[in-house]
Structure 1
């Protein structure tokens, strides 16, 4: 469980570095090798964070 937290934090930090657009909303995601490695290691966590970021970026 500790490792999942580390991966989650690392993915969230990487996402803040590069910007892409998904569904017309601004989303931060890093596409570098390190982030891809995390993506392959824990796809579910990666997608959970991405979904959360998209929701947070949407205008209320």
Structure 2
């Protein structure tokens, strides 16, 4: 199942939560950051969704 797919991932990132070394907001289109969802799985009954980011957070 495809839930959402777009080459512009800026709408999937919360720039207020993006961590940078100088504590400033980061532009997700120009920065090399490790935020955002990398993988996602939906339960067979469709009631639960699990996602993981590039930092290993589920």
Same fold judged by TM-score > 0.5? no
Please give the TM-score of this superposition, normalised by the length of structure 1. Answer: 0.22
**Richer in strand (by share):** 2
Please give the TM-score of this superposition, normalised by the length of structure 2. Answer: 0.22
Larger radius of gyration: 2
Structure ranking higher on relative contact order (CA contacts 8 Å, 6+ apart): 1
**Richer in helix (by share):** 1
